[in-house]
Amino acid sequence: LNEFELIARYFQSSQYSDDVLLGVGDDAAVVTVPDGFKLVTSVDTIVEGVHFPNNSAAADIAYRALAVNLSDMAAMGAIPKWFTLSLCIPTIDETWMNGFAKSLNALASQFKVQLIGGDTVKGPLNISVQIMGVVEQDHWLTRSGAQPDDLIVVSGKPGEAAGGLRLLMNAHSSLHDSHHEQQLIERFLRPVPRIALGRELRSIAHAAMDMSDGLLTDLKKLCFASNCGARLQLDDLPKSSLLAAMFDPEQCEQLILNGGDDYELLFTIPSASLQQLISISNAIGVRCTLIGVITAGDQVECMRGNEQVTVADSGYDHFK
Amino acid sequence: LNEFELIARYFQSSQYSDDVLLGVGDDAAVVTVPDGFKLVTSVDTIVEGVHFPNNSAAADIAYRALAVNLSDMAAMGAIPKWFTLSLCIPTIDETWMNGFAKSLNALASQFKVQLIGGDTVKGPLNISVQIMGVVEQDHWLTRSGAQPDDLIVVSGKPGEAAGGLRLLMNAHSSLHDSHHEQQLIERFLRPVPRIALGRELRSIAHAAMDMSDGLLTDLKKLCFASNCGARLQLDDLPKSSLLAAMFDPEQCEQLILNGGDDYELLFTIPSASLQQLISISNAIGVRCTLIGVITAGDQVECMRGNEQVTVADSGYDHFK
């Protein structure tokens, strides 16, 4: 099997949609970006021992590789359409490849994204996915548009993924019997890209991003990009009964503020759009929580009640 | 420095062209594919010890990473426009990063392609570039369009890159004094993407691909994709005085047939277009050589004079 046949054998779609004029198998793929739409693209690479635990299941690795890229499309308000896969693996193990491909193909199918190119090379495990999507002319989301007095909102329950990872890493056995435990681990292993929410936010959000490094770190990035500050209400952070069942209150807050891997959306809206956000949240069934306001400053202040408190920001840095 | 700042610091363009609506620094980039054009995209990943020798200079690695992707655009007849970079490096070495970035930025500037996204992660050296280009509606090149009686043509001097690599690997000292030697090594280290040729070939070529794995292997791929065979005239293979100066005739032929890394174009044209090809070749200053004809069969026959001979096909396979 050469690299070409590998991609064809495991990943090639038998049936492309009409927008794919040339798929896997030539020197490049050719696709149509519809009139009135812009191309949105991003790359995310995941490496064993850095982005996922050593000896993770192939299915989990594949899911993560594509999901984190889909999440970037969600953060832009884009419709994900196509992706390429660069798979660097030490050796070809049929079972591993089947597990990887099945999981990748299932997630791709769920979000209607098509693999249009790929590369397999021999080397230390490294999976790079490049995602391409489309978005209506002048209607994409950025992280740089937040304005003072905007409300700061997060989707879902940040911290649960990090809680799940902690349980996964600290487990003395590979069995996770508790239902809570299993659910938290699932949050880490199967983050749900918030595509539908991102699409809806185009009409109301001033700024948006997906959270991968931790709420506090990511909020600071959003503020930096928007040239503003924020006042975060710690008491308003979304409570997680799953986290509460497994960790003490202080740990919970730490996980919520500094746990990464959530791939929830962090965004700001003008207060006038609050009612509309509630309608959106109800319509698509994704919980959204107000956690603070954007300020004219350049600091992210954490408030407990009316009192400002200092919170360690231990956001993720690959090279720290 | 987080991964974001790394990309911004070393690679972010200060000035994007108008087609880049949002560049490096957000969750994704946003670009415009012009009306009447299709998006062409491809990914190529290079790994130390597989695609380039261990301890290669950062500048050489960067050049290769982008050049092989530009070559895919050439093979499609596309205009390269944008790329993303996923850089997996064991550690941040300022000198290495500067050498890498300077070389990458220089080649990008030469071919007017813009870096619009990236990712840096910590891990074993692995560089993945995703290239995006545009091509006129219905006017791209594929490897599947060859027809019986088409003339088979190669650009440049295949084999020289492989000759250069052999010299590089066998060198007893790091000094390559001979001018011939230096030139061959340069052919390996600095393959020139045949963008201008690819663009011109859109009007005459039935099939095209770029050669990375060796002429014979790549010709077989083209024939397989086109559902046809080929008759290759060994006596017509382009002669290289550089190779002849360093290797015996048998070695030269082996390098030409089975040496990879050339990134020259292999293409087929109807014989009626020969005069036009000569004009194109002269106009853009790229040598093109007729090396055989496409047949209705399914084999690639190698002819020496009127006699069919057997030639070992030792084309490159990462997982062999």
A61 token code pair: 């690795």
Smallest CA–CA separation between B87 and chain A, in Å? 9
Which amino acid does the sequence have at B205?
A: A
Chain B residues touching residue A114 (CB < 8 angstroms): none
Preferred mutation among B10, B30, B85 to probe A, highest tally of A CBs within 10 A: B30
Contact residues on chain B for A116, CB-CB shorter than 8 A: 41
Compute the C-alpha angle A117/A120/A126, nearest 5°: 105
Q: Which of A25, A45, A132 has its CB closest to that of B121?
A: A45
One-letter identity of residue B66? L
Which of A28, A48, A91 lies nearest to residue B73, judging by beta carbons? A28
Residue in the block written with tokens 């929830």: A264
DSSP H/E element including A20: strand A20-22
For residue B50, list chain A residues with Cβ-Cβ distance below 8 A. Answer: 121-123
Which tokens go with A210?
């997906």
**Record: contact A30-B44, CB cut-off 8 A:** no
Classify burial at B172, counting beta carbons within 10 Å of its beta carbon; exposed 0-12, middle 13-18, buried 19 or more.
exposed
How many other CB atoms sit within 10 Å of the CB of residue B299?
13
The three-state DSSP-derived secondary structure of A201-231 is HCCCCCEEEECCCCHHHHHHHHHHHHCCEEE
Please tell me the predicted confidence (pLDDT) of residue B3. Answer: 59
Asked whether the beta carbons of A262 and A191 are under 8 A apart, the reply is yes
b/e code A82-116 from CB counts within 10 Å (16+ = b): bbbbbbbbeeeeeebbebbbebbbebbeebebbbb
Of B88, B126, B209, the CB nearest to A27: B209
Contact between A220 and A312 under an 8 Å Cβ cutoff? The reply is no
> Which helix (H) or strand (E) segment is A281 a member of?
helix A274-284
| Distance in angstroms (rounded) separating the CA atoms of residues A226 and A206 | 10
Chain B positions touching A92 (Cβ under 8 A) are 319
Q: CA–CA separation, B253 vs B159, rounded Å? A: 8
Q: Which of chain A's residues have a Cβ under 8 Å away from the Cβ of B90?
A: none
Q: What Cα–Cα distance (Å) separates residue A189 from each residue in A49, A129, A185?
A: 14, 17, 6
Half-sphere exposure for B250 (CA within 13 Å, toward CB): 2
Of B21, B73, B84, the CB nearest to A43: B84
- Cβ contacts of residue B239 below 8 Å, gap of 6+? none
Identity of the residue numbered A146: A
% pLDDT > 90, chain B:
79
CA distances from A302 to A307, A308, A309 (A): 8, 6, 6
Binary contact (A319, B122; C-beta < 8 A): yes
- Say whether A28 and B38 touch across the interface (CB within 8 A): no
Angle between helices B179-189 and B160-170 (to 10 degrees): 110
Per DSSP, A111 falls in state: T
| Contact state of A31 with B50 under an 8 Å Cβ cutoff | no
**Six token digits for residue B18:** 């108008």
Question: How far is it, in rounded angstroms, from Cα B160 to Cα B168?
Answer: 12
For A138, the closest chain B residue by CA position comes to B21
Q: Is the dihedral of CA B230, B235, B239, B241 positive or negative?
A: positive
Q: Which of A2, A7, A11, A27 to mutate to test the interface with B (most CBs of B within 10 A)?
A: A27
Contact yes or no for A221 and B4 at CB 8 A:
yes
CA distance A3 to A120: 5
Closest Cβ opposite residue A28 in set B31, B40, B84: B40
What's the pLDDT at A1?
A: 46
CA-CA-CA-CA dihedral for A94, A100, A101, A104, to nearest 10: 180
Give contacts of A25 with chain B, Cβ < 8 Å: 225
SS (H, E, C) chain B: CCHHHHHHHHHCCCCCCCCEEECECECCEEECCCCCEEEEEEEEEEEECCCECCCCCHHHHHHHHHHHHHHHHHHHCCEEEEEEEEEEECCCCHHHHHHHHHHHHHHHHHCCCEEEEEEEEECCCEEEEEEEEEEECCCCCCCCCCCCCCEEEEECCCCHHHHHHHHHHHCCCCCCCCHHHHHHHHHHHCCCCCHHHHHHHCCCCCEEEECCCCHHHHHHHHHHHHCCEEEEEHHHCCCCHHHHHHCCHHHHHHHHHHCCCCCCEEEEECHHHHHHHHHHHHHHCCCEEEEEEEECCCCEEEEECCEEECCCCCCCCCCC
Please give the backbone phi and psi of residue A264, each rounded to the nearest 5 degrees, phi first.
-85, 165
**What pLDDT is attached to residue B276?**
98
Nearest CA in chain A to B134: A30
Beta bridge partners of residue B45, listed in sequence order = B128
| B41 contact residues in A (CB cutoff 8 A) | 28-29, 31, 82, 84, 116-117, 130, 132
Other CB atoms within 10 Å distance of the CB of residue B301: 16
> Among candidates B248, B273, B243, which has minimal Cα distance to B178?
B243
Angle between helices A58-76 and A179-189 (to 10 degrees): 60
Tell me whether residues A119 and B45 touch, CB distance under 8 A: yes
Q: Which helix (H) or strand (E) holds A59?
A: helix A58-76
Tokens 């896969």 belong to residue: A85
The complex scores an ipTM of 0.93
Cα–Cα distance, A25 to B145 (Å, whole number): 13
- Residue B28 is nearest to which of A72, A128, A318, comparing CB atoms? A72
Contacts of A314 in chain B (CB under 8 A): none
pLDDT reported for residue A100: 95
Comparing alpha-carbon positions, the chain A residue that sits nearest to B117 is A42
Edge-first strand order for the sheet with B300-304 is B207-210, B265-269, B151-155, B288-295, B229-233, B300-304, B307-309
Q: What is the pTM of this model?
A: 0.93
Residues of chain B with pLDDT under 70: 1-5, 12-14, 171-177, 314-320
Q: Which amino acid is at A163?
A: G
B45 closest CB neighbour out of A75, A128, A142: A128
Cβ contact (<8 Å) for A318 and B119? no
Amino acid present at B136: E
What is the SS3 assignment for A34? Answer: coil
- Write down the pLDDT at residue B51: 82
Spatial CA neighbour of A288 closest among A180, A193, A163, A197: A197
Write phi, then psi, for A111 (nearest 5 degrees): -100, 10
pLDDT tens digit at each of 320 positions of chain A: 455 567 777 876 668 999 999 998 899 999 999 999 999 999 999 988 888 888 899 999 999 999 999 999 999 999 999 999 999 998 888 999 999 999 999 999 999 999 999 888 888 899 999 999 999 998 899 999 999 999 999 999 999 999 999 998 886 555 556 888 999 999 999 999 999 999 999 999 999 999 999 999 999 999 999 999 999 999 999 999 999 999 999 999 999 999 989 999 999 999 999 999 999 999 999 999 999 999 999 999 999 999 999 987 765 555 54
Give dist(CA B91, CA B99) in Å, integer.
15
Helix (H) or strand (E) holding A104: helix A94-110
Residues of B in contact with A132 (CB under 8 A): 39, 41
Strand, coil or helix: A24: strand
